[in-house]
Amino acid sequence: MSTPLQDRTVYVVGVGTHPYHRPDGRTYVSMGLDAMRSALSDAQAAWLDLDALHVGSGKIGMAAAPTLARFLGRTGLPVVQVESASASGSVAFRQAVLDVAGGTADLAMAVGVDKAEFPPDAVGKAEIAGLADGLVEFTTMFALKTQRFLHERSASVEDLAQVAVKNHANGALNPFAQRQKARTLEEVLAPPFISGPLTRLQCTPVGEGAAAVVVASEEGLRRIGVARSRCVKVLSSVHMSEPLRGQAPVDDGAASRAASRAAYEEAGVGPDDVDVVELHDAFTVEEPVYLEAMGICRPGEALADLGRGDLDIGGRIAVSPSGGLLAMGHPVGPTGIGQVSEVVRQLRAEAEGRQHPGARTALTQMVGVGGVCTIHLLQSAAARD
């Protein structure tokens, strides 16, 4: 099976972010439009140039796409809303990429936007009764994974909390981050405890925001003004639902392992080629689990790599230079597109104050409840020369 991206090259040509923040009175429309206009401006493109719009959101309800599009001008372009839980933005980006790769669009936009609303999800509406219904929130689901991980690795709570120390330090350098404050290990470990060993600063905050990107074909590039040196190539786009469990009762890396393998194969690169990673670190334990599943760290080595500084900006590979979900935040719809925006800034060498030197190849990974996993590989213009 050949993939669309092997037949037709797709570039990210513009990014725009409405900074993530605590819930407030701003409407999703004002946040979304801000990100969309920024992305158009960054691409030196006009709204009229676009052939398609995909809106990623998980919380704000139906009909967000035409509501956003109308205020940029009723051009009649096709608009659609994409929902895939935490991966909503990542999948909106993927759909825009596939539109361009498939030839139905030469310029397409993906925007993610959400408010801090908590509508009931469809998982619960299956009405499969369990023994702990209503008791296990996301924090507890991940507290259980954390406790098991620490047991299997004979690792300490302090070892794992270093993930949060690193990502809060990165977030402090990111003007788009919800949490822009470096934290000591003591601060990260300080109460309040939410569930199990998880303290507040080891959990992603509740927040809002928006992020947008514009993608283009070669033909689309000719329509707009952006310099080729600022165009980032999409090497691969993989979206998978969680495979059947194997022999182990729990394997939290299974979807990331399978999706990353497919992504490396499509891209023709391996994990050793990756310079920058943005991943779903809503809780500290996720970073080492996914890094090992994706082959970025050797099995059992992620915490040692972290401890040596290998995963810092300027280290062997920069992991969550944006601050990740722990510090940049996780408004849901925007999150996956915010990841793409961050790695585009890194690959253009425009990530002021937090630039990973020599960033040429980047990977973004999101998981969504249910579950799904979305992975993209992107490459700088410099790597193509």
Binding site for another protein (CB under 8 A): 126-132, 134-137, 139-140, 143-148, 151, 192-197, 244-245, 247, 249-250
Query: Which of 26/153 has CB closer to another protein?
Result: 153
Q: Looking up tokens 């960033």, which residue turns up?
A: 359
Query: Which of 93/149 has CB closer to another protein?
Result: 149
Query: Which of 245/308 has CB closer to another protein?
Result: 245
- Return phi, psi of residue 279, to 5°: -135, 175
Query: Which of 62/244 has CB closer to another protein?
Result: 244
Q: How far is the CB of 33 from another protein (least distance, A)?
A: 32
DSSP state of 96: H
Helix 88-101 crosses helix 335-347 at what angle (to 10 degrees)? 60
CA distance 269 to 376: 12
Query: Which of 35/143 has CB closer to another protein?
Result: 143
Q: How far is the CB of 199 from another protein (least distance, A)?
A: 10
Number of DSSP helices (H) and strands (E) in the chain, helices first: 14, 12
CA distance 162 to 167: 8
> C-alpha 121: how far from its chain's center?
20
Q: How far is the CB of 204 from another protein (least distance, A)?
A: 15
Q: Which residues pair with 113 in a beta bridge?
A: 210
Least Cα distance to 336 among 270, 295, 282 occurs for: 282
Q: How far is the CB of 264 from another protein (least distance, A)?
A: 27
Q: How far is the CB of 252 from another protein (least distance, A)?
A: 12
**All residues at 6 or more sequence positions from 151 whose CB lies less than 8 Å from its CB, including other chains:** none
Query: Which of 24/127 has CB closer to another protein?
Result: 127
Both structure tokens of 250: 């729990």
CA distance 342 to 346: 6
In angstroms and rounded to an integer, the radius of gyration of the C-alpha atoms of the chain is 19
Q: How far is the CB of 161 from another protein (least distance, A)?
A: 16
